[in-house]
Structure 1
Amino acid sequence: MKLYFSSLLALAASLASLAEASPAQHVFQPHLGGLTGHLPGSSMGSAREPTVGLLSDSKWSKIETMAALPNYQLRIKQPHLCATNTTQYSGYLDTADDKHFFFWFFEARNVPRDDAPVVLWMNGGPGCSSFTGLLMELGPCRVDKGGKSASDFAYGWNDKAHVIFIDQPLNVGYSYGKDVFNSIAAGQDVYSFLQLFYHSFPEYANTELHVFGESYGGHYVPATAKAIHEANLEFTSKQELGVLSVAEKEKRVLPLTSIGIGNGLTDPLTQYQFYGKMACNSTYPPVLKQEQCDSMDSKYPTCARLIEACYRWQNSLACYPAEMYCNTMMVAYQQSGANPYDVRIPCEGSNLCYPIMSDIDTFLNDPAVQQELGSDVSKFESCSQKVYGGFILNGDWMKPYHREVPPLLDAGIRVLIYAGDADWICNWYGNKAWSEALEWSGKGGFQAEKDADWVVDGKAAGEARSYKNFSFLRVFGAGHMVPYDQPENALDMINRWIANKPFY
């Protein structure tokens, strides 16, 4: 859900002398699942393993398999936590090569089961749990102060949709097993999860599927949508040719209807040029001195050349130098003490700038909660330093995931890019800029479209621009986590979107 901001600081510091004699190298820290640095409660050890005492098939109400996916199984139970008046499922997707993804599903509250679409939600990092989104942002319950309980939340996105929160990549949240350090591979595993989920619960399979995420979700969401879309095309083609095997006929065309990216990192080449603007010349008071922003901007030309090399070659050798150099641009902001996820407030505490994150850790590390959910591990990892570092070393950070969006648009899949306008780390200027620059068949029409007010309850909640099946939404008064800062408006946004109603 978020992009790290400090984690990379440790990695980047070792290369500081190579880039230039700066006092520190910034890297997106693990502040809130986003761009960050050293993550609290995380480790760089070997892949996580289950806690032996928690392993038991008896705790599962169902273990589902498919002949079409012989290396996968889905373990399912029905917990009763927080939103206890809502049908819930939790469990694991297991693979034969030691990967175990945890999920938590909530049924729609105010729409008949057969009419509600499914929203799949992923937080970012890379390496932060999607349960941050669940218990802090858009779930049907929000953790209470102190972390001893969670209470119903009126603005949960399961108002009119079934919502699945999945902990991916591996070794975040309650997930564990073999490491996966690139977004494309993670997307393919999510595709298999959805196939098994719909196979297990066909009652949810007849409506639309919307894949949403925030922050590093700007990588995850396009990668997951690519995996779904390409598998759907392959399945349909084989079906038309009559060459599907008996096992393959168990699969289905996943009903991918739209994707949504909130305050995402998707096109770094475009987005990195707006950090100075957001820190010194945004619609909010400046956070840094102008000379600090000028220094930040002066590094962009070199940064851009390195990112262009990454875009060309797309391997770790080409992409890692871009990550290391470009994130030196961030050090002044990080050292300022300001919240990288909200220019209006200071960074509070040590846990990703938001005290509520500690409450989430307390709640999800409660043995009673873990038992009710069916966790195989005895420690909940809100963010994993190892996963974060693995993605960085693998060169995934600077890769051009925006290039996965045009094939989706041209196939008729709807795309929403939204951004809280107080976020610095994945700011709305950069997100709007890459949306306007995106090469697709409707580029000219989207660029020519005028921004218009998005109004909620008679008040302007933001500015929207839509052309055909592509929309950009600037959300007023929200930081990196739009549903946390503007829950009522965020619910209006998702409800309009899944109903295919315009923002203006």
Structure 2
Amino acid sequence: MIGKSSASVVAMPIINFATFVLLWLARMVAGQKSPEDFRIHGLANIEPAFASVDGNMFSGLISARENSDAELFFWLITNDRSDSLVIWFNGGPGCSSIDAGFFFEMGPVTTPLHPAGYDNLDRGNEAPLKYNKYTWANVSNIMYIEQPVGVGYTHGSPKPHNEDEVAADFYRFLQNFFDIFPKMRKQRLFLVGESYAGMYVPSMAHYIHEKATSDDPKINLKGIALGNGWVDAVKQGPLVIDYAWWHGMIDTVYRDALWSAWADCVNGSISSPFHKFTVPDECGIMGAVLEAAGAKDGQSPNTYDVTTWDTYPVLTSDTGTFAKFLNRPEVKEALNVGHVKKEWMGCIPGAGRRKLGLLDNDRPLSMARYMADLLDKTDIDVLVYNGDDDMSTCSQGSELFLNDMEWSGQSDWLDPSTYSRGLWKVNGKVAGHAKSVRNLHFLVVYNSGHMVPYNQPVNSYDLITRFTRGRPDYIDQEIPFTLDHYRGSGKQIVPTPPGQPMSHLVSAAVGCLFGVMIMWMKTKRSKQQGYDPVPTHF
């Protein structure tokens, strides 16, 4: 029996290896491409800032489905000193990772980075490109992917309708990518995303986990990180109301009226200018909050950085530096997409996204189950981080989501005797607050808006450095819990509800004010087709 069992143990890896070799040979016979087919040539001659990039660059389109024209665009920067691969995703849905991630945040070449409080993102978007010494490419191999199908240079049909389809496309793309770049398969893989990528990344990681028992070559996933992530629209959506109130942008009358509107919307009983609840756009509540805070005549509180006022609506421009650069024919040739005829856009506008049927009815509603499975059934690290000046996906929303998530460590997460909490420091200075239990980590990044690498390049460099080392520890100074006598049940604090029952007179006044607000916004938007929410989750 011992000899028979040992032979079986030895035979299994041999069979798996033989299967892998046969599949590899079949692909080679079929005309499989090599890394050289994707190498970027001549980009430094077009934009001198690329001459400073340390590492090789590859880009192009790789199939995301069998028997389909669906292909995803990638841009890879290699780092021979690293054994990790970070894959970065931006959100939207419908926003390019090349636009915000590569050129605006942590790529090797960006427009100038600015701290929170920098007025006018559009002005920054028009700035010239420069080498970024805080690029994450100096820490790890890093790849930016444009997805879902239809975003940026990516093309094909049909468009995905939910997160399972998004994850399946990414999984097939990734297996095809590793077949072409076999050295990358050995790297420790980290999926990192921002904003609506809070939906993408857990879905993709969960799909990889479920496929681990298939005959496909294994994927060496070691961690996921969500930056200002959109993970649960029902929990996070209304927090924008409280956040605006906490920052003095609206008063309690508007706060309570907006909460009532939110409740009606979620229950399906509200009309224009709000719209029925969707995962990408909630109910259009952000537009109402901004207008209640004074958005008018092209100026608005910046939903991504509330320390500033900016253009209204707040979005990066598709006529700025990036769009002009990425639509140049010689740049497209250098990036191996010269044959792609469509115009490159940083973000597909909301109305355009709906015409494409791109995730407007996205499901599931929450990433809680997927993230709980990853925490309980794998050993990967899960990092959630938020800039504290972001209203669109505020840190309080992330905390409430994490507090309410049902996993084996939930009671420890809510118990100060079992969780670790303290200050995160970079170069001796406080960079934020950190909390950890087992393989779950939560960071609130000080003086940062929605795009942490843009506002805090030095601190985000430290963040990704610790994360890619594995089992990251962000607590540099422990904060002891000193209020045991006053501690309650450990249940999370819920978002601020509408106020206590008021007198009929005050209730009537609130109703009138809200009615006036509804009528004004109806008149203002009557010429719009459908609905077009103010912020896109980058």
Q: 1:92 aligns with which of 61, 65, 73?
A: 61
- Counterparts of residues 66-465 of structure 1 (less than 5 Å): 67=26, 76-80=37-41, 81=43, 82=50, 83-94=52-63, 95=65, 96-108=67-79, 112=81, 115-131=82-98, 132-143=100-111, 150-178=129-157, 179-235=159-215, 251-281=216-246, 285-303=247-265, 305=267, 321-323=276-278, 326-335=282-291, 336=295, 337-348=300-311, 352-354=314-316, 358-375=320-337, 376-378=339-341, 379-385=343-349, 386-387=352-353, 390=356, 394-396=360-362, 399-410=365-376, 411-448=378-415, 449-465=419-435
Structure 2: distance between partners of 1:392 and 1:289: 36
* CA spacing shift, 1:146–1:234, aligned 2, 3 Å: closer
Structure 2: distance between partners of 1:388 and 1:457: 45
Structure 2: distance between partners of 1:258 and 1:333: 35
* CA spacing shift, 1:67–1:394, aligned 2, 3 Å: farther
Structure 2: distance between partners of 1:189 and 1:67: 22
Supply the AA of the counterpart residue of 1:419: N
- Alpha-carbon displacement from aligned partner over 1:411-465 (angstroms, at most 9, x marks no partner): 2221111111111111111011101111111111112225311111111111111
Q: Which has the larger radius of gyration?
A: 2
* CA spacing shift, 1:146–1:183, aligned 2, 3 Å: closer
Structure 1 residue 389, shift from structure 2 partner? 5.2
Structure 1 residue 180, shift from structure 2 partner? 2.1
* Number of aligned residues: 406
Structure 2: distance between partners of 1:293 and 1:354: 28
Supply the AA of the counterpart residue of 2:84: P
Structure 1 residue 93, shift from structure 2 partner? 1.1
Supply the AA of the counterpart residue of 1:359: T
Structure 2: distance between partners of 1:175 and 1:166: 9
TM-score normalised by length of structure 1: 0.74
**Residues 161 and 361 of structure 2 are in contact (CA less than 8 Å); yes or no, is this contact kept in structure 1?**
no
Structure 1 residue 215, shift from structure 2 partner? 0.8
Identity within the alignment, %: 30
Structure 1: distance between partners of 2:30 and 2:301: 46
- Alpha-carbon displacement from aligned partner over 1:68-96 (angstroms, at most 9, x marks no partner): 89999768421143254320110111242
**Residues 162 and 359 of structure 2 are in contact (CA less than 8 Å); yes or no, is this contact kept in structure 1?**
no
Supply the AA of the counterpart residue of 1:261: L
- Alpha-carbon displacement from aligned partner over 1:255-310 (angstroms, at most 9, x marks no partner): 011111111111122212312221121xxx42333422222223344455569xxx
Structure 2: distance between partners of 1:357 and 1:491: 29
Structure 2: distance between partners of 1:71 and 1:438: 46
Unaligned runs of 5+ in 2: 1-22, 44-49, 113-123, 270-274, 476-538
Q: 1:503 aligns with which of 456, 465, 474?
A: 474
- Alpha-carbon displacement from aligned partner over 1:104-146 (angstroms, at most 9, x marks no partner): 00112xx62xx42001111100001010210001111114778
Supply the AA of the counterpart residue of 2:440: F
SS of 1:105 mapped into structure 2: strand
Q: 2:446 aligns with which of 473, 476, 481?
A: 476
Structure 2: distance between partners of 1:126 and 1:233: 30
- Alpha-carbon displacement from aligned partner over 1:354-394 (angstroms, at most 9, x marks no partner): 46982211121122211110123242121123335555775
Supply the AA of the counterpart residue of 2:203: A
**Residues 273 and 297 of structure 1 are in contact (CA less than 8 Å); yes or no, is this contact kept in structure 2?**
yes
**Residues 65 and 72 of structure 1 are in contact (CA less than 8 Å); yes or no, is this contact kept in structure 2?**
no
Structure 2: distance between partners of 1:471 and 1:72: 44
* CA spacing shift, 1:430–1:395, aligned 2, 3 Å: same
- Alpha-carbon displacement from aligned partner over 1:211-260 (angstroms, at most 9, x marks no partner): 1111110111111112211111333xxxxxxxxxxxxxxx4210011111
Supply the AA of the counterpart residue of 1:405: M
Structure 2: distance between partners of 1:277 and 1:444: 26
* CA spacing shift, 1:405–1:391, aligned 2, 3 Å: farther
**Residues 304 and 392 of structure 2 are in contact (CA less than 8 Å); yes or no, is this contact kept in structure 1?**
yes
TM-score normalised by length of structure 2: 0.70
SS of 2:285 mapped into structure 1: helix
